[in-house]
Structure 1
Amino acid sequence: MSDLARVHIEELRLSGYRAFENARLQLDDLTVLVGRNGAGKSTLIDALEFVRDALSDSLANALERRGGVQALLHHGAREAKELAVVIRLRLSRQYLAAVLHRTELPAPQSILADDATVTYGFRIGPTRGGLGFEVKKEVAHAAYQHFTRAGRGDWRFGGVVMPHGVRATSRDALALPFAAEHAALWRALLDALKTSVRAYSLSPSAIRAEPPVSGASILNRSGGNAGDVLHHLERNKADAAWINKHLAAITPGIVRVRSETAAGRRLIRFHQRYNKSKTAGVVFDVGDMSDGTLRCLAILLALRQKPTPALVCIEEVEDSVHPAALGVLLDAIAASTSRCQVLLTSHSPEALSHPSVTPEQVRVVEWREGSSQLFKLSPGAEEMSRPPRSVGRLLRTNALFTAKDSERVEGDFFAAP
């Protein structure tokens, strides 16, 4: 798909999910989460992945990977008996047209009149005795279509209960995959949610392991298949040149990075300039490179991977990266927001001082009154972080003051905007 055929995630809502009793995260093209260790930054990213996992695999497996429904329920000052997750996203006309082109599903002509803003979410809770779980409610809203599912697996499309053959198979299954078999809009929504989020907690040791060739074009969470993704991107000269240009600025002396294959394993080789020569004279493998260089390479690959996800989430973007290299990396991230959204977590004043980080893009996560809460900056902090000052300067002086009220959902949790 072209860059115009994009999915834009506008909002995440959480209720009773781990440390969050009630939270509403609005996402920009670039969003930066700031907060102390254990405040809940990673939980927000996990919730986005949870929806993806529940739809691309199954709700049961997504819960099991996280320790079961009881492990996810909020146990703060107010214990939650149910948890709910809602995502609001915008599907471009081009994206919808691409889905219609490859399917023969029915769709009204109005589906291509404009971008479609869709709100999708579900509420689940433990069964009696706490040994299992069930879907209490599942809702999808669009401007001109909707389905609502509650109770024993029935779901409604435009207010009409659909035939038995397209119900969810059981109380512990989501209905959206079944709805997607019958209508183009829900197919587009399902495809978007299954591919929209890629989150990274990168491990240089996993990258150094150089696993067997897999042919994957999507970077995995640890970055361990970086060689495969690099090999895939090398087929496009523009992608390869973009990665080489930024990596050379991050680690002076590197001319290019290339993938190779030996004994069934995908290798990564760094070609470095020798003395003042303009050509590569020395070749290093991943074992010779610093953690910072390997993390930067993986982030560049995540930003350029194909197909491009709607949202790339990078935890602790500054980890092991020199402040000068961090500036180059953030330049690359800012330039990539025309292709995908980026969500960063950071504790670094240097990262928050980058010109691309504006006060409106910063969300502060804090533990207050027995739960994690999400805040925008206070009006005073926003004003104090305008150029030539920065958000990073406020963080360095412990003056990153938040708005009085947290970002939360008021009224109907599943309401469309």
Structure 2
Amino acid sequence: MLEKIEIHGLRHFEKYCVKTNGLTVFFGKNGTGKSSIATAFRLLSAIAARSLADWTEVFSNTGALFHFGPEETKEIILSVKRGKESYSVTLAQDPKDSSRLILRREKLVIPHHTDNTQFETIEVKTGERESIFGVPMDGKTHDVYPLMQEMSRWWIGSLLPAAIRSPEKNDTGRVLYPTGKNLEACLIYLAENSPEAFQKITQAVTEIEPEFISFVVIQEGTEKFLRWESKKRPVLMPAQYFSEGTLRTLCYAVLFVSDDLPEAVVIDDIETALDEEHILVLMRLAADAGKRTNLILTTRSETVAKCAGPALMQI
């Protein structure tokens, strides 16, 4: 199980340690570094998945990643501890292209492949843009280091309302996308394969939507659709017709009740577009999810902070 992430030289943090122990809620005002915690997880997951170049292209300004800028802070160091295994990486701006990052150094400590009681340390100076330990691009798993594979599966939320309202048609629904695009597929999957989890979601919607009666799965030819029955409207409604707050709540609820959670789930500003009723429902589900995975939330909401209880970390 993931134990901690150490951050050196990243955005707000000259030095900081994120300890993970089930549900952890970081509470603070704007500018205190909450989003920098999510950024550390995103960076590490992108490195493990061999998509660092794609991530930095989306981020667009790598100079903003360095504490006081790349002229003052020459390197970013991120470290992961997971049981007896560990991984650390040193990042720097590419001297030939300031819009890109390079991996200056990597160090991986893992069980020796012939004896799990012994550990080997592999340290390399790469100067490359992608991890030599990362998940192979061809998807084969026989050469994948388990720690890196797990890091590549971390769920770091970036829900996009437009994506949620444009459902993915060709998806199994087993794992919610961080954008929320396959929400409908996930709800259908749970309705058909996990009645107990689906009942929790139905109950959550009942608490926050006065019009809601129940969900209905409709099959038309080979395609299935999710609809909901309203107390006021005579026709069944698509899930995408819920408000943004309810759609976000649904996405997080689907994630929290999933039986296939990655070892780290990170949600930055979980309170976005949610009112107090949404938050109360979600935090109840989050407390249960925190028993099965490391759930890291950041927030400015007093309500979220109050619900967090002993999981609260002031930042």
Into which bin does the TM-score normalised by the smaller protein fall?
A: 0.7 to 0.9
Whole-Å Cα distance in 1 between the matches of residues 75 and 235 of structure 2?
58
Q: Note if contact 1:212-1:264 (Cα within 8 Å) is conserved in structure 2.
A: no
Match of 1:270 in 2: 228
How many equivalent pairs are there?
304
Q: Name which of 306, 309, 312 aligns with 1:358.
A: 309
Cα shift at 1:76: 5.5
2:272 aligned with 1:339, yes or no? Answer: no
Whole-Å Cα distance in 2 between the matches of residues 172 and 203 of structure 1?
28
> Which has a greater percent of strand?
2
Match of 1:159 in 2: none
Whole-Å Cα distance in 2 between the matches of residues 56 and 343 of structure 1?
20
Cα shift at 1:329: 2.0
Whole-Å Cα distance in 2 between the matches of residues 215 and 307 of structure 1?
13
Cα shift at 1:11: 1.0
Superposition CA RMSD, Å:
3.3
Q: Note if contact 1:229-1:305 (Cα within 8 Å) is conserved in structure 2.
A: no
Partner SS, residue 145 of structure 2: helix
Whole-Å Cα distance in 2 between the matches of residues 133 and 319 of structure 1?
30
Deviations 1:24-43 (A, max 9, x none): 11122111111222332122
Whole-Å Cα distance in 1 between the matches of residues 159 and 141 of structure 2?
39
Task: Letter of the 2:184 partner, please give it.
Answer: G
Q: Note if contact 2:173-2:188 (Cα within 8 Å) is conserved in structure 1.
A: no
Partner SS, residue 274 of structure 2: coil
Distance change (3 Å), C-alpha of 1:283 and 1:28: same
Distance change (3 Å), C-alpha of 1:76 and 1:39: farther
Deviations 1:37-58 (A, max 9, x none): 2332122112112111122133
1:225-244 mapped onto 2 (5 Å cutoff)? 225-236=182-193, 237-244=195-202
Match of 2:248 in 1: 295
Match of 1:137 in 2: 105
Distance change (3 Å), C-alpha of 1:239 and 1:269: same
Match of 1:199 in 2: 156
Match of 1:157 in 2: none
Q: Note if contact 1:70-1:130 (Cα within 8 Å) is conserved in structure 2.
A: no
More divergent stretch after superposition (201-210 vs 259-268): 259-268
Match of 1:73 in 2: 66
2:88 aligned with 1:121, yes or no? Answer: yes
Task: Letter of the 1:363 partner, please give it.
Answer: M
Q: Note if contact 1:213-1:264 (Cα within 8 Å) is conserved in structure 2.
A: no
Partner SS, residue 266 of structure 2: strand
Q: Percent identity?
A: 21
Whole-Å Cα distance in 1 between the matches of residues 286 and 43 of structure 2?
24
Distance change (3 Å), C-alpha of 1:258 and 1:147: farther
Q: Name which of 88, 103, 110 aligns with 2:81.
A: 88
Distance change (3 Å), C-alpha of 1:43 and 1:264: farther
Deviations 1:249-279 (A, max 9, x none): 33245333345566998744222457xxxxx
User: Whose Rg is larger?
Assistant: 1
Cα shift at 1:233: 1.9
Whole-Å Cα distance in 1 between the matches of residues 129 and 68 of structure 2?
22
Whole-Å Cα distance in 2 between the matches of residues 176 and 59 of structure 1?
13
TM-score (norm 1): 0.63
Q: Name which of 127, 133, 158 aligns with 1:176.
A: 133
Whole-Å Cα distance in 1 between the matches of residues 241 and 148 of structure 2?
42
Whole-Å Cα distance in 2 between the matches of residues 291 and 57 of structure 1?
32
Match of 1:150 in 2: 124
Distance change (3 Å), C-alpha of 1:17 and 1:232: same
